[in-house]
Amino acid sequence: MTQTPQNDGPDQLVLHDLACFRGDRPIFLHLDGELRAGHALVVTGRNGSGKSTLLRIIAGFVRADAGQILWNGLDRDDHDLPWRERLQYLGHRDGIAGELSAGADLGHWAAIMGVARAGRADRVVAALTALDIPHLADLPVRVLSAGQRRRLALARLLLAHRPLWVLDEPTTALDRSGSALVAGLIGDHLDRGGMVVTATHLPLGLGDRAIGLDIEEAAP
């Protein structure tokens, strides 16, 4: 199989008849959804309804017990690497290493994402600036506040273009301006033809580019 999730047409993500169990307990059953380039799938539901689990399934950290996730027709489970290379996941744990400076932390992520060494420093500065935290570049991340850490984690999204962003409660710990920044980043990403799957109850101001998915409709 030589095909990858990258194709010449617009991206399309399909969730088909997904089910997830924890132990013997079903979390959701018969869950369907569809997302096209330039749109965001906004997953809502009460605490414990399975939003994070769904996002982790899409990102590839958990396997669904039934059903399929297709990106341009290619099954998530059968094409893990090309999927991972084309998505960015931001979860509750920020994956930020304590002794590094904020700039070095981002540089490390840029290397992981395959940004050429020559361009890394500029990307890091641009990403920190976009999140309004350039002044934190030389501080060790262990001294950052919760909101500053969140901004630093979000800055990763801008290091390299990846068409699919999977964002679990991206505005957690952010103040009002930080939340507005996230909404702006998501809007810009969609403008570039990107896709976003996010669990958030915060209005993102995306208008008809936001597709709601109430996960409780798939409750057992």
Residue 97, SS3 per DSSP: coil
CA separation, residue 213 to residues 53, 122, 139, 142 (Å): 14, 37, 39, 36
Residue with Cβ nearer ligand ATP (9 or 48)? 48
- Of 2-10, 50-58, 82-90, 175-183, which part binds ligand ATP (CB under 6 A)? 50-58
Q: What x-and-dash track marks residues 10-49 binding ligand ATP by CB under 6 A?
A: ------------x----x-----------------x-xxx
What CA–CA distance (Å, rounded) separates 172 from 175? 9
Nearer to ligand ATP, 49 or 148 (CB): 49
Q: How many residues bind ligand ATP (CB under 6 A)?
A: 10
176 CB-near residues (< 8 Å, 6+ apart)? none
Q: Least Å distance between CB 124 and ligand ATP? A: 30
Toward ligand ATP, which CB reaches closer, 59 or 133?
59
Q: Does 178 bind ligand ATP (CB under 6 A)?
A: no
User: Which residues make Cβ contacts (< 8 Å) with residue 177, sequence separation at least 6?
Assistant: 132
CA 71 – CA 5 distance, rounded (Å) = 6
Amino acid at 159: L
Kindly state the smallest distance separating residue 51's Cβ from ligand ATP, in Å.
4
Contact (CB, 8 A) for 210 and 39: yes
**Secondary structure of residue 51 in the 3-state scheme:** helix
With respect to ligand ATP, which residue has the nearer C-beta, 53 or 103?
53
Which of 11, 31, 41, 53 is the binder for ligand ATP (CB under 6 A)?
53
CA–CA separation, 162 and 165 (whole Å):
7
Provide the sign of the torsion angle of the four alpha carbons 204, 171, 141, 163, taken in this order.
negative
Smallest separation (angstroms) from ligand ATP to the CB of 45: 5
Choices 29-37, 51-59, 63-71, 150-158 (CB under 6 A): range interacting with ligand ATP: 51-59
Binding site for ligand ATP (CB under 6 A): 22, 27, 45, 47-53
